[in-house]
Chain A
């Protein structure tokens, strides 16, 4: 058993030194990618070593190898759960919620009175435990994916609204004066100046929304779900103490979450290529 503990320590030291070496290199794209990969691999190796080395109860904390095995044998379940939670629940709610928030922001842009009232309320609502509305959504929309999508809509709406409103206010007075000297009307100014200038903020809201959407869809399923979905699988597996399946679902969630965020970040890079944060 000591062999495994030794393995864990060695793995950690090796991973650490590789990362320290990588950090000393000139910054480059592959170094930036390699670092978290090395870190992830080290983590997995240490985990494996510690669980086996200290003979930790595999029911409570399965080793990565066990999780990987369970993952491989459960691909069909994982896929079905993924479609239910991520595609049907999270994604549809995300699109509806962010879209509605964006349009609302445009609508209230013409009424500074509403804005002044809405921004504090919006900031306040964004701090509330929206997830608590999950049982209500289940009551209104049933057990299916629609109630999960509804929760996601509520969760992403306010951060997206607040960010978009901020973004629309981002163009400075001088820029707006310039538009005035061109006798450009409200819509022209919106399209050519204020919307492009708002994009960094809009994408901030969109990225925040990706994490909220996934968490929201999964946790909403704790409150009631048909016999599928990631949240459902996690809560029932916990009940059966099949924690390896729980971790397998988590792996899917982590990958889905990172991929979703990554895609948004990629689009952000192309749309807001001009922003100082993208140029450094």
Chain B
């Protein structure tokens, strides 16, 4: 157990949506602590609330019960103080701005001086291995490269927390492997706290220090697995028995959640 501080803390978190087809209990009684420097994956089938939980942390949804704090303050205050960077499923880059322009977008909004903007753009492009692509337009880049630019954009203002919603879901497996490796290296270099939503069991096990297995109807946490794998992980680790054992435990957790239907 590490005794680093708790960065994200959810207590009895509850969220019910009112939809045209009746109320949807998206999150029920969620309790979770995420510590500084953790890489936490959220995995589960559709409707288990993993994206909803991420959005609550980002102040993009409001809970209907319980509390959640980011860095000790409410999600709204955390959002206003730009405590986190958010990466969506789609890159969502503005086609009318160059890659450099897109990365500068949050910096412009946050009032960072222009000279410093240029330096930050260079730094984060280098982190995601897109140096030299500053003047290109998004449509000139492949899907994988666009997503890397989107991650660079989320890193540019040095928030300590990164919230990522299935960022690699739309990419093919080979690109995905490469990006997973890069993300781990990035995490090691920057020491950020990362909350990562995914559909893929190998991805969750490979990337995380902690895996949160969720199940649907109502959305709740089924299992929290602390990963014994070392922080330094080459891709080959995915074929080791320890890896497979964790993956097995995740799969069991998912099945149990499903079996409640």
Spell out A's residues near B (CB within 8 Å).
174-175, 177-184, 188, 192-193, 196-197, 199, 272-275, 279
Nearest A residue to B107 via CB reads A182
Q: Which of A174, A175, A181, A196 contacts B96 (CB 8 A)?
A: A196
Q: B187 interface residue, CB < 8 Å from A?
A: no
On whether the beta carbons of A182 and B60 are closer than 8 Å, the reply is no
On whether the beta carbons of B82 and A182 are closer than 8 Å, the reply is yes
On whether the beta carbons of B59 and A182 are closer than 8 Å, the reply is no
Q: B106: which A residues are within 8 A, CB to CB?
A: 182
On whether the beta carbons of A188 and B96 are closer than 8 Å, the reply is no
Write the nearest CB–CB distance from A33 to chain B, whole angstroms. Answer: 26
Q: Which of A180, A184, A274 contacts B59 (CB 8 A)?
A: A180
* Bound form: Cα–Cα A275–B82 in Å: 31
On whether the beta carbons of B109 and A192 are closer than 8 Å, the reply is yes
Spell out B's residues near A (CB within 8 Å).
58-60, 79-82, 84-86, 88-90, 92, 94-96, 105-106, 108-110, 137, 139
On whether the beta carbons of B79 and A181 are closer than 8 Å, the reply is yes
Q: Which of A174, A188, A275, A279 contacts B90 (CB 8 A)?
A: A174
Most buried by A among B58, B80, B96, B108: B96
* Bound form: Cα–Cα A175–B84 in Å: 16
* Bound form: Cα–Cα A179–B92 in Å: 11
* Bound form: Cα–Cα A181–B89 in Å: 15
Q: A175: which B residues are within 8 A, CB to CB?
A: 92, 94
Q: B109: which A residues are within 8 A, CB to CB?
A: 179, 182-184, 188, 192
On whether the beta carbons of A183 and B80 are closer than 8 Å, the reply is yes
Q: A273: which B residues are within 8 A, CB to CB?
A: 96
> Can you list 13 residue pairs at the A/B interface with Cβ under 8 Å?
A177-B88, A180-B59, A180-B79, A181-B60, A182-B109, A183-B79, A183-B109, A192-B109, A193-B94, A272-B96, A274-B95, A274-B96, A274-B137
On whether the beta carbons of A181 and B92 are closer than 8 Å, the reply is no
Q: Which of A174, A181, A193, A275 contacts B58 (CB 8 A)?
A: A181
A181/B84 contact (C-beta < 8 A), A192-B105, A274-B139, A275-B95 known:
yes
On whether the beta carbons of B108 and A192 are closer than 8 Å, the reply is yes
Q: Which of B88, B95, B110 contacts A182 (CB 8 A)?
A: B110
User: Would you call the interface of chain A mostly helix, strand, loop, or mixed?
Assistant: helix
Nearest A residue to B96 via CB reads A274
On whether the beta carbons of B82 and A178 are closer than 8 Å, the reply is no
On whether the beta carbons of A174 and B60 are closer than 8 Å, the reply is no
* Bound form: Cα–Cα A183–B80 in Å: 5
Write the nearest CB–CB distance from B91 to chain A, whole angstroms. Answer: 10
Q: A182: which B residues are within 8 A, CB to CB?
A: 82, 105-106, 109-110
* Bound form: Cα–Cα A279–B138 in Å: 13
Write the nearest CB–CB distance from B251 to chain A, whole angstroms. Answer: 31
The 8 lowest CB-CB distance pairs between A and B, nearest first, are A274-B95, A181-B86, A274-B96, A184-B109, A183-B80, A182-B106, A182-B109, A196-B96
Q: A178: which B residues are within 8 A, CB to CB?
A: 86, 88, 92
Nearest B residue to A179 via CB reads B109
* Bound form: Cα–Cα A50–B222 in Å: 85
Nearest A residue to B85 via CB reads A181
On whether the beta carbons of B108 and A180 are closer than 8 Å, the reply is no
Q: A181: which B residues are within 8 A, CB to CB?
A: 58, 60, 79, 84-86
Q: A193: which B residues are within 8 A, CB to CB?
A: 94
Known: A177-B88, A181-B79. 6 other contacts (CB 8 A): A177-B60, A177-B86, A182-B82, A274-B94, A274-B96, A279-B139
Nearest A residue to B153 via CB reads A178
* Bound form: Cα–Cα A226–B173 in Å: 74
Nearest B residue to A180 via CB reads B60
* Bound form: Cα–Cα A196–B101 in Å: 14
Most buried by A among B84, B106, B110: B106
Most buried by B among A178, A181, A273, A275: A181
On whether the beta carbons of A183 and B105 are closer than 8 Å, the reply is no
* Bound form: Cα–Cα A184–B106 in Å: 9
